[in-house]
């Protein structure tokens, strides 16, 4: 897993707020059902060391490890897809429940190469309140949806 390699090489044991080398690595590919649901052509999703460092600095150790271990699963097979709120980075937010923990991971389009970058991710037990202001991308809005 690329995110774990990046973590071990550039992020682990760094001081809070420390500057690190900004590396962009392929995390995974959007599955065909997800691409169809979002109505996008690009399918590669990247993670940057800057994002990992942000998560490392802002999340507790258990949440960070949980996100690091499951980031590719959240992107490849989300339980729900949302349009991100206006004013927030990233067009889409991927939501998945893993081991009774809800995880939300927004991604943004990289216009240069028609790929996507992870913006951030966070986990919680009760995210329903937070997600009230998000618009769920329902199957009826999008083409050939295979996800509910």
99 located within any domain: yes
Total count of domains within the chain: 1
Is residue 91 one of the residues assigned to a domain? yes
pLDDT digits (tens, 9 = 90+) for 86-140: 888 999 999 999 998 999 999 999 988 989 999 999 998 778 888 888 899 855 4
Instruction: List the structure tokens of 125.
Output: 């037990």
Q: Does 100 fall in a domain?
A: yes
Within-domain flag for 56: yes
Q: What is the DSSP letter of 84?
A: P
Residue 116 lies in a domain: yes
Which of 23-27, 49-53, 109-113 is predicted with the least confidence, judged by mean pLDDT?
Answer: 109-113
Structural domain contains residue 61: yes
Q: Is residue 146 part of a domain?
A: no
- Mean pLDDT computed over 54-62: 95
The answer to whether residue 76 is domain-embedded is yes
H/E segment holding residue 101: strand 101-110
Domain span including residue 47? 2-139
* pLDDT value at 141 more than 80: no
Mean pLDDT of 69-81: 94
Residue 123 sits at φ, ψ, to 5 deg, of: -120, 155
Nearest Cα residue to 35 out of 74, 71, 87, 81:
81
Distance CA 144, CA 141 (A): 10
């Amino acid at each position: 897993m690329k995110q774990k390699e990046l973590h071990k090489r550039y992020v682990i044991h760094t001081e809070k707020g420390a500057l690190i080398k900004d590396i962009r690595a392929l995390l995974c590919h959007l599955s065909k059902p997800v691409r169809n649901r979002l109505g996008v052509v690009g399918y590669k999703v990247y993670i940057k060391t800057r994002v990992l460092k942000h998560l490392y600095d802002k999340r507790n150790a258990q949440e960070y490890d949980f996100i690091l271990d499951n980031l590719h699963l959240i992107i490849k097979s989300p339980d729900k897809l949302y349009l991100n709120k206006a004013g927030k980075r990233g067009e889409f937010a991927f939501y998945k429940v893993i081991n009774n923990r809800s995880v939300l991971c927004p991604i943004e389009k990289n216009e240069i190469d028609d790929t996507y970058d992870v913006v951030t991710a966070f986990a919680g037990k009760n995210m329903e309140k937070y997600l009230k202001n998000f618009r769920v991308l329902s199957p009826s809005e999008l083409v050939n949806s295979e996800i509910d």
